[in-house]
Amino acid sequence: MRGLRRVRLWVTGIGVFLLMTGVSVVGASSANLSKSYNSSSTIQNGSLVSLDADRSDYVEASNVDNVSKLFGVAVDRNTSLLAVDSEPGKAQVATSGTVNVLVSTVNGPVKVGDQITSSPFSGIGMKAEPGVRVIGIAETSFVGTSQDGVTRQVANKNGKKQTIQVGYVRASVAVGTSASATSEKLSALQKAAKSITGRTISTFRIIASLTVLIFSFLILVTLIYSSIYSGIVSIGRNPLAKYSVFRALGSVMAMAFGIVIIAGIIIFLLLR
C-alpha cells in the first residue's frame, strides 16, 4: 500500500509540475461525456483510471495490475460536454470523446495513431502492445522532448526505479482491446496502405484511390500517345507545320501535368 501511495503521489506531483512549468497540454478536452465516481485518493486530470474491484462506484488510478478494468480518463468536470452527477471532490471520468491523457515513454514514444494502455506507474499511460486493454487512440504525438514533457525518476510497485519522460497527448477515448492484435485480419490492400501511410485505411478509400490513379494514368497515356501520333503524322504531311505541332504538344504536356496534380490531391484526400 505504501508503494502504491508513493506512485500516486508521483502522478499528482508530475501533473502539478507539468502545469507549473508550462508544459503544453495538447489542446483543451472537448465533446467528452463523463460521470463522477468515488475515489479513495485524489486522481490527477489526464490520468487513466480503472474500476475498483472491491467497491461499487469507485475508481482508482490504473496500472498494469488493474488494466483489465481500465475504464476511462480523469477530466475536469467543467470541460465535459455532458457531466453526469458532477460533484466537487469526486473523480470525473470521461468514457468517450476526445481528452488529454497523461502518457510516458516507458514503451517508447507515443505517435499519432498509437493505442494507449496502462503503464506500470499508476495513472500514467503508455504505447500499447498487441492484445492488451486500451483506453483509445492518440491524436497527437509525445516523443519525450524537453519541449513537450518532463523527465522524472519514478518507482513501480516493486520499488524498481526508472527514468521516464511524462507529458500529455490528445486521445480519442474508446476502451477496448488493442487492434494491433488483430492486424492479421487486415486485407492485403489495407496492409500495403498502412505500410505507406502509417495508419489503417478503409478498403473503400483504398479502392477509390486506386481507381483515380488508374483512370488518370489511362487518360495520360491516351492523351500523350494521341498527341505524339498526330504530331508525327502532321509533320510527315507538312514539314513546315512542326512548330505548330510542338506548341500543341507543349499544351498537351501542361494539361497532363494538371491532371497529375488533380489526381494527386484527390488521392491525398482519400488516404489522409
pLDDT at 29: 41
pLDDT tens column, 36-45: 888 888 888 8
50 has pLDDT over 90: yes
DSSP SS3 for 38: strand
pLDDT at 1: 45
Are 125 and 101 spatial neighbours (Cβ–Cβ below 8 Å)? Answer: yes
DSSP labels for 79-121?
G-SEEET--TTSEEEEEEEEEEEEEESTTS-B-TT-EEEE-SS
The correct CATH number of 2-180 out of 3.40.50.300, 3.40.47.10, 2.40.300.10, 2.102.10.10 is: 2.40.300.10
Alpha carbons 121 and 65: distance in angstroms, whole number:
10
78-92, 168-182, 190-204: which range is least confident on average? 78-92
Q: What confidence tier does 20 reach under pLDDT thresholds 50, 70, 90?
A: very low
β-partners of residue 127 are 116
pLDDT tens column, 105-146: 888 889 998 999 998 888 999 998 888 889 989 999 888 765
pLDDT at 106: 86
Q: Higher-confidence residue: 25 or 141?
A: 141
Q: Quick count: other Cβ atoms within 10 Å of Cβ 188?
A: 7
Cβ partners under 8 Å of residue 124, min gap 6: 11, 14, 47, 48, 102, 103, 104, 106, 166
17-21, 44-48, 81-85, 187-191: which range is least confident on average? 17-21
pLDDT at 235: 75
Q: Higher-confidence residue: 30 or 125?
A: 125
Q: What confidence tier does 27 reach under pLDDT thresholds 50, 70, 90?
A: very low
Q: What is the pTM of this model?
A: 0.52
- Report domain extents, the chain: 2-180, 188-271
83 has pLDDT over 90: no
220 has pLDDT over 70: yes
184 has pLDDT over 70: no
Considering only CA atoms, which of 114, 128, 100 is closest in space to residue 28?
A: 100
Q: Higher-confidence residue: 270 or 8?
A: 270
11 has pLDDT over 50: no
pLDDT tens column, 147-164: 666 777 766 666 677 777
